[in-house]
Structure 1
């Protein structure tokens, strides 16, 4: 199992990049330092020139891997959601009871992340902070419909579908499983954002409180008969 995990690769639609950054040391350094740069300065101030300087290369070398910085953020977003799907599958394999599996999934999707040593070139903690602060930006463009048709958001959509299936296993009569699943994923990031930046807008300020909030929300919804 350890050998399998060490050789694991998060699969991303090749249309997102020009050259697979996983294919070279430079590509991996671009991802590693790009995460650090966006985490420190924010996406608005992130440029390929700054990234090239950071890795000791020129700006043109970054363009050999990514068409523009939107595609770079898309790559990071796809990688993050693919990694979350991997964690969801790996950590719920041993749970045979549907409610236990759903509760474990809620923990994985709502709690702060930890470094995963299976991916040495990715700081998952920093990437999680980026997703908290920037998670909507890959979607909020005029190109969203075209990019969706081209499969750019498949890792995120697969994760929502897996989580929705777990919801359905607990209550197969609940008609809004995908809506609830996507609300938990988006809402968790938003609650972490509020906790960090606008704390007066949330009651989730203690460790684990975001997980407790969403566990209570999901449980209440699935136990209710008022679906319509």
Structure 2
């Protein structure tokens, strides 16, 4: 029996639910491909409509702006990551082992069944690394936040912080540490690939494994010494 993973994305991010139609799903999957290929700055709905052989007006019937589309993609990703994390730590009782598995997930050092998805997960991960800050380091952040559009990111960080507290109940900053390791995973992989001298990955290879090793050192050193 075939099935696909689906997550409910905040309705404020779209005008028409892309999951409910073939063209809507194509908008999402091809937007990921195109943003990966040309970057978010060069991406627009005219180029996207040409890729999926539809009209620009059709794309606008689903999303009011490319920023809303990017936030939709990110929201889906955070929910997927939380799902993948919970599946990875299922039946694990040791908090340290859970944290190690969480680091594997956030650095993308895990295998996934892409047949369960409508999208290219590797491309989406690359977009998250290079573009995710553009959905919350914006002037309208408070307005967007009031619409609960950042809930998937907040929920995922909260879940990580709960495992941190399970490992170290007396640790003072679990929420800050959770969001720090998540953002650090993105920054360090981007630096490792493109601005190598900002890292210690001198051989310029195995970027994901390098970041995983660094985060393990960072996380457990912090929790041990505080």
Normalising by structure 1, we get a TM-score of 0.93
C-alpha RMSD over aligned residues: 1.5
Change (3 A) 1:175 1:118: farther
Q: C-alpha displacement at 1:118, in angstroms?
A: 4.7
Greater mean deviation of Cα atoms: 141-150 or 184-193: 141-150
2: distance between equivalents of 1:118 and 1:37?
20
Correspondences of 1:1-228 after superposition (within 5 Å): 6-112=3-109, 114=111, 116-204=113-201, 205-207=204-206, 208-225=209-226
Task: Compute the displacement of 1:206 (Å).
Answer: 4.3
Q: Distance in 1 between the 2:165 and 2:139 partners?
A: 33
Query: Counterparts of 1:38 and 1:111 in 2: how far apart (Å)?
Result: 19
Q: 1:119: how far off? A: 3.8
Aligned residue-pair number: 222
Unaligned stretches of 5+ residues in structure 2 = none
- Please identify runs of 4+ aligned residues in structure 1 that moved more than 6 A: none
Indicate conservation of the 8 Å contact 1:22/1:28, yes or no.
yes
Q: Which runs of 5+ in 1 are unaligned?
A: none
State the shift of 1:196 in Å.
1.4
Q: Distance in 2 between matches of 1:127 and 1:162?
A: 22
How far did residue 80 of structure 1 move? Answer: 1.0
